[in-house]
Amino acid sequence: MKTRIFKIVLLAVLSMLLLSGCAGGPIAQSTPGLSANDTHVFLSAANKIYKINLENGTEAWRYPADNTRMMTYAPVLFDNETFIFGDMYNKLHKLDIENPQQKAWESTDAKGWYQAKVAQSGDIIIAPNTDRNIYAFNAKDGSLLWKHEDNFAFISEPLIIDDTVVISSQNHAILFLDLKTGEEKHERLAMQGAVMAAPYYLEETGLIYVGSLGNEFIAINAMTLTVEWRYDGSIEKLSGIWAQPIYLQEQVLFNDDKGNIVSVDPLSGKENWVMPEQGNMLAGLAAVDEDRFIVAAEDGSIKIFDTNKKPLLQFNIEKAKIYTTPLVTDKFIIIAPVGAEYNLYAYPLETTGMPQWTFNPAK
């Protein structure tokens, strides 16, 4: 009979393990969020946020410090005193940057996850949420100012230009909202696919650049909020665009998820050059300095090119999958892979492929 009991218990435990395994571990699979100032890098990695010293990769603090349940991948937004981030328990937090246990406020207005970095203009915080709402909060006390509802979850960082909130929508559109009221201040711009990438504004040209999963890349006039040009280059078919473009040496550079890297003229959209299929990419490009940019592919390979598409360096992180756009500070290139030996790799700007420091949270 003991064997029978053992078999029943074993079967039940196996079933539970099987079901847990299928459920995929955490609530959702996402990618680490990165942001940095001159002295520290902030890593949002599932159940904690880590503040890490940029010089040597040591941990300054973690939040929450105890075993309080939390899940976040959203990069934090910070100033000198506080930082703000949303989590997947539907909360938006504003905390003290030196002592995160000191809470300025917490909002529980949303019913869905905060996946994207929030944006701030003056005292207004704009926070996209997966409950199909964009929320505006008072930065001082966290009170809700307005919310704007649409048909799909909002998962990309908003852009604020003067009194206009420009936000990508999975509803195949770009939305333009009034910063003060949340009303649509201009007819939404229809796109050919869901828009995952955050819009990018270039003051020099007065244009907003954005791509969609509908294999397109466009420039929008920030004044008229109409399409200035559409990319129509030599690539037979662009693939889905998931990341923001960058501006370097009077070129706008963007990449699609097949790893096509394209350089266009910012004003006309005319193609300068194309580097085809550099590997599957979800992460975007990052400018290393005035003439170089870095790109990280899903397979863990990292490449540095100059703006004439000359390859300068290639290295890879073993066993890594990279989905987060590399972050470049004054001194370092920071990579946050998943599945690799370390959570963070920091390379000097003049890197040879050897990290200066790596980071794993101490247990």
Alpha carbon 174 to its chain's center: 18
Task: Please tell me whether residue 190 binds another protein under the rule CB under 8 A.
Answer: no
Instruction: Determine the Cα–Cα distance for residues 43 and 343; give it in Å rounded to an integer.
Output: 9
277 close to 258: Cβ distance less than 8 angstroms: yes
Name which position in 31, 244, 255, 325 contacts another protein (CB under 8 A): 31
Write the CB contacts of 293 (distance below 8 Å, at least 6 apart in sequence). 246, 248, 253, 285, 286, 287, 304, 305, 306, 307
Closest CB 352 distance from another protein, rounded Å: 30
SS3 14: helix
SS3 for 25-92, per residue? Answer: CCCCCCCCEEEECCCEEEEEEECEEEEEECCCCCEEEEECCCCCCCCECCCCEECCCEEEEECCCCCE
Name which position in 19, 223, 354, 362 contacts another protein (CB under 8 A): 19
Q: Which is nearer to another protein, 277 or 306 (CB)?
A: 277
DSSP 246: E
Name which position in 146, 242, 332, 347 contacts another protein (CB under 8 A): 242
Closest CB 153 distance from another protein, rounded Å: 6
Task: Please tell me whether residue 157 binds another protein under the rule CB under 8 A.
Answer: no
Task: Please tell me whether residue 257 binds another protein under the rule CB under 8 A.
Answer: yes
Write the CB contacts of 203 (distance below 8 Å, at least 6 apart in sequence). none
Task: Please tell me whether residue 135 binds another protein under the rule CB under 8 A.
Answer: no
Instruction: Determine the Cα–Cα distance for residues 93 and 86; give it in Å rounded to an integer.
Output: 6
Closest CB 361 distance from another protein, rounded Å: 21
Name which position in 170, 255, 325, 351 contacts another protein (CB under 8 A): 170
Instruction: Determine the Cα–Cα distance for residues 168 and 189; give it in Å rounded to an integer.
Output: 10
**Stretch touching another protein by CB under 8 A, among 149-157, 160-168, 225-233, 300-308:** 149-157
Task: Write out the binding residues for another protein, residues 33-72 only, by CB under 8 A.
Answer: none
Q: Please, which residues bridge with residue 177 across strands?
A: 165, 184
Task: Please tell me whether residue 99 binds another protein under the rule CB under 8 A.
Answer: no
283-322 mask for another protein (x: CB under 8 A)? ----------------------------------------
Closest CB 230 distance from another protein, rounded Å: 16
Name which position in 27, 65, 144, 190 contacts another protein (CB under 8 A): 27
By CB under 8 A, name the binding residues for another protein.
1, 4-5, 8-9, 12, 15-16, 18-20, 22-24, 27-31, 73, 111-113, 115, 130-132, 151-153, 155, 170, 172, 192-194, 196, 213-214, 240, 242, 257, 282, 323
